[in-house]
Amino acid sequence: MLAPHTTGRQGVFRVADEMMDEDPTITRSDSFLVGHTRSDGTFPTTFIEEKMITVKDIITKNPQSKYLDVDHDPLAQVFGPVKKGCMNFKGLNVTKKFIQSAELLRAHIAEDKEFYIDLENRFSQYKAKNDARFLNLKDMVASLRSSGCATISTVNVERSQISTPLLREEAVAHFLNFHKHIAATGRALVLPGL
């Protein structure tokens, strides 16, 4: 065995899946480095040690290289291109086509998540703005009720004349919610001629 892993009974592929669950940006090179390094930092064979040093050198020279496709990433540069059949360091029955389609689906999912977050942010801003308007309206109604004027009954009277120097009219006002139910009742001052 040229490239024995150091993950024990769990296996390289399960460790790689767990790493992907924690951080979706984990690449094939990252899982290879973790799966073939012992806990004390040593390597199982000298062959692996030489290959690991070369892979780490490629990644340190160009950190973006580990995000390249499977034909050009650091593992492909060190171990050679992927041959027909299973994908190196990904498991049985995992082909290049499967990896490419999974990456495309991951990109769609990430795009949908960004759209959802944006939509949620816009909704919360809209809700905060409307909550502020509603509180402002509530305060206005409360201040009108607490003013020195007498309360007008809404049963018989819809408008009444108030003799003031400005000749204003007072009308009963009903504030409706979005379901067209009365949320608050108060008085509104109407200027004649408007």
Lowest mean pLDDT among 11-25, 47-61, 83-97: 83-97
Residue 82 CB-density burial (10 A; 0-12 exposed, 13-18 middle, 19+ buried): buried
Residue-wise pLDDT for 146-161, tens only, equals 774 444 444 333 344 4
**Range 51-62 average pLDDT:** 88
| Closest C-alpha among 171, 149, 148, 167 to residue 158 | 171
Residue-wise pLDDT for 65-104, tens only, equals 877 777 778 888 887 777 666 666 666 667 777 777 777 8
pLDDT for res 122: 92
Residue-wise pLDDT for 20-31, tens only, equals 778 877 787 887
Q: Are 158 and 172 in contact (CB under 8 A)?
A: yes
State whether the Cα torsion 74-79-80-81 is positive or negative.
negative
pLDDT for res 163: 41
What mean pLDDT, rounded, does the chain reach? 75
* Alpha helix (H) residue ranges in 39-193: 46-61, 74-79, 96-146
pLDDT for res 156: 37
pLDDT for res 69: 73
Cα angle: 63, vertex 85, 22; to 5 degrees: 40
pLDDT for res 89: 63
- Rounded CA gap, 88 and 32, in Å? 10
Q: What is the pTM of this model?
A: 0.44
Question: Pick the residue with more confidence: 11 or 133?
Answer: 133
Tokens 């580990």 -> residue: 66
